[in-house]
Structure 1
């Protein structure tokens, strides 16, 4: 069987967790979905996983389980290696007038993480890769830059969110990867089965942190 990652021709000889195990509290293993992965695309970069997890928890806390996961999975790592991880998270941070702190986000890391996660979700749903004619990009609804969009774009985004807030219509029910631990991670996939349309993947972590992954069928869009 091929690796789960879009366009990869290597065999899937290892297992990749989607999302990573570190996102779940100890003892909650019912959510540990896996897909076949080659060694290259097996997510062995724990620093990236922890970076993404820390940012998600900081943006979702105290909602649902985010604060708990941060305290158990992230806090004890902040002072490792003379505080290297803490410095990485806080580099470029800005103190706001209301006492809050605005932290910068490494967009490239987030895009790479959610592209891999979306590829895994699709592979788990239909047992095949995202076709190479699909372009993947992401909207991060919890980040400040997303909220600073022009009013016309915000209105369009709100309308789009309403369309995908419920369960997919039958014609756009691409399938379900069978996520079970909704307090940690839920995902919905909108699109015509068999890759007959573009696909929208809605990820929600800890009931609050939402990412919309847009998988655009370039050939169909141009036809």
Structure 2
């Protein structure tokens, strides 16, 4: 019978393996992969340790507990989304195109083979009410809503908060549909809907300004 690679090398279970990444990053990368694909409650620490290729004590020495690792995982997802969308927005000059660029970036995620929807939606569905996962989800969603509101304000619409909420609904719905239906083409429908909402809000603002000048 063929022995697994670890046995052929004589490596003991849970022993450190050669990897240039710091232990913390190895654990966090493993958590990102497994928690995102399968859920924070479904994945035990032993699987994280095995995937990271570190000794068992390394997780506790680095994070202290699974809860702290989950917290770090969610923080990394938030930071990653913030960094990615900020770069996309900054790369465009026109205020209207900045807003629509967010949906273009979302569509690129839908095309990735390991796309499993919103990490915060998945985590909060399993979470205890009032816990740190709920707080992390609220912080993330608040950031998304503020992003859309600020982008809407830059276009000159009369009520950027209302448009921001509408755009977040489209953004949320697109992510849910792309995940459940396994259909990345919903990105185009989401962008079209966002463009229509923006056009309607701008038209309303123009009408309001025209009435005010009479």
The structure whose Rg is larger is 2
Could you say which structure has the greater relative contact order, defined with CA pairs below 8 angstroms and 6 or more residues apart? 1
Give the TM-score of the pair, scaled to structure 2. 0.30
Q: Quick check: which one's helix share is greater? A: 2
Q: Quick check: which one's strand share is greater? A: 1
